[in-house]
Amino acid sequence: MREIVTIQVGQCGNQIGRSFWSRALHEHAANSHYADFGGGEGGEGRTGAVFSESMSTFFRNVDMTTKGEMAPGSEIRDLKARACLIDMEDGVLSETMRGPLKDLFTSAQVMSDVSGAGNNWAHGFYEYGNQYGDQFLELVRSQAEPCDSLQSFFLMHSLGGGTGSGLGTKLLEGCNIRNSSVLACGVFVRGKGIPISDVNSNVARLQSELRMPRWNREGFKIGLCEVPGLDHQSSIMSLCNSEIINSVFVPLSERFYKLYRRKANVHHYTQFCDGGIFDEAIGNLENLIEEYKAVGGRGEVEGRGGEIAAARGRAHLGRQRVFKQAEGVGVLDLGCGMYCVIYV
């Protein structure tokens, strides 16, 4: 088994989390397999849904009478999400725990406070980070320990807000997943009967159009999932760690300087921490901007064109056009310098 533990932090993280779990349940329900699990008087004739290997990535199957975990292949009893729900305001979490998904989580998976971090990163990072750091590690441990072969954490949080951004950053340190610095690309394809040869040839075409660093020409990861999403026959998602993110970082640093020159809002932060964090933070951001520029500009990259070919609608899967010319290209921050480009 290869499990993923989901960590959702703050209002945004938990609201997106709700949509994620609801969709995951619907998708698994639509693709369920059934088997005879016996249990009738003659020891047969009771058909139940099977807890599959793929379900075990995101869910545990628990027998609530014995509290025992049931392995893939067993009948679905009580599904519990492999998740940690964290918010420093309790409104959204209480809604989740009263709403249609309530049976998916136990109260032991929830960590909350009442007042929130008031959109203040420093409040989330320092105050709540210090206060809840140990409890958080304990919570993650409780979700990680039942895993057979934990493959990753999936962190959902907003960049704004105080809890998602501040406490979310603190939690990233706890998970120690800041380990990626290469420019790389992942392509994840879903749909029935898509031949891997088609995917490979289109990735090769995409590769030739991308500027990739010399030291990572083969930096592509391909995922192929036979099960289509609920609303599409086929779909594709690309995860890119790309220099294009400077178009987000550069305006961010400019906006920062406009406010910082007047010391606007600084006092909200210095009640929790030393003012030096501003210089450190903008220094880190500038370094990051320079590093991305250097990778793009110092001849360290090869290949044609400077844009992501996918966003230009060039790639095709068989005859089907799967990368759309994107009115709706979204960029999602995954932390660790990784950004997810979503095509909608």
Ligand X SMILES: Nc1nc2c(ncn2[C@@H]2O[C@H](COP(=O)(O)OP(=O)(O)OP(=O)(O)O)[C@@H](O)[C@H]2O)c(=O)[nH]1
The interaxial angle of helices 276-297 and 246-261, nearest 10 deg, is 150
Residue 93 interacts with, from Mg ion, ligand X, none (CB under 5-8 Å by kind): none
Query: Under the criterion CB under 6 A, does residue 161 sit at the interface with ligand X?
Result: yes
164 touches ligand X (CB under 6 A): yes
- Picked from ligand X, Mg ion, none, the partner binding residue 129 (CB below 5 to 8 A depending on kind) is none
Minimum Å distance from CB 11 to Mg ion?
4
Quick check: 129 binds ligand X (CB under 6 A)? no
- Residue 128 CA to residue 138 CA, distance in Å, equals 15
Which token pair is 25?
Answer: 């349940």
Q: How many residues does the chain have?
A: 344
Is residue 168 close enough to count as binding Mg ion by CB under 5 A?
A: no
The stretch near Mg ion (CB under 5 A) out of 7-15, 36-44, 99-107, 256-264 is 7-15
- Cβ proximity to ligand X: between 76 and 117 the closer is 117
Residues 6 or more apart whose CB falls under 8 angstroms from that of 132 comprise 86, 111, 113, 167
- Contact window for Mg ion (CB under 5 A) among 9-17, 63-71, 235-243, 312-320: 9-17
Q: Is 11 in the site for Mg ion (CB under 5 A)?
A: yes
- The answer to whether 13 contacts Mg ion (rule: CB under 5 A) is no
Indicate which single residue of 38, 99, 100, 160 sits in contact with ligand X (rule: CB under 6 A): 160
Rg for the chain, CA atoms, rounded: 23
Q: Which of 6, 7, 10, 112 lies at the binding interface for ligand X (CB under 6 A)?
A: 10
Query: Is residue 234 exposed (0-12), middle (13-18) or buried (19+ Cβ within 10 Å)?
Result: middle
Q: Counting contacts by CB under 6 A, is residue 163 touching ligand X?
A: yes
Instruction: Considering the complex, state which of residue 10 and residue 191 has its C-beta at the smaller distance from ligand X.
Output: 10
Q: Which is nearer to ligand X, 128 or 292 (CB)?
A: 128
By beta-carbon proximity to ligand X, the closer residue of 64 and 332 is 332
Give one DSSP letter per residue of 103-164, joined into a string. GG--GGGEEE-SS--TT-HHIIIIIIHHHHHHHHHHHHHHHHTT-SSEEEEEEE--SSTTII
Position 76, amino acid = I
User: CB-based burial of residue 183 (10 Å sphere; 0-12 exposed, 13-18 middle, 19+ buried)?
Assistant: buried
Give the per-residue contact string, 76-115, with Mg ion (x = CB under 5 A; - = no). Answer: -------------x--------------------------
Closest approach, Cβ 23 to Mg ion, in A, equals: 23
Contacts of 89 (CB under 8 A, 6+ apart): 11, 112, 113, 114, 115, 116, 163
The reply to whether 252 sits near ligand X by the rule CB under 6 A is: no
* Phi, psi values for residue 134, rounded to 5°: -65, -40
216 part of the interface to ligand X, by CB under 6 A: no
- DSSP state string for 16-75: HHHHHHHHHHHHHHHT--EEE---STTS---EEEB--TTHHHHEEEEETTTTEE--TTSB
Measured from each CB, the residue nearest to Mg ion is: 11
Q: How far is the CB of 156 from ligand X (least distance, A)?
A: 10
Among 13, 116, 166, 168, binds Mg ion (CB under 5 A): 116
Q: Which is nearer to Mg ion, 124 or 191 (CB)?
A: 124
DSSP 223-259: EEESSPPSS-SEEEEEEE--GGGHHHHHHHHHHHHHH
Binding site for ligand X (CB under 6 A): 10-12, 15-16, 87-89, 116-119, 158, 160-164
Binding site for Mg ion (CB under 5 A): 11, 89, 116
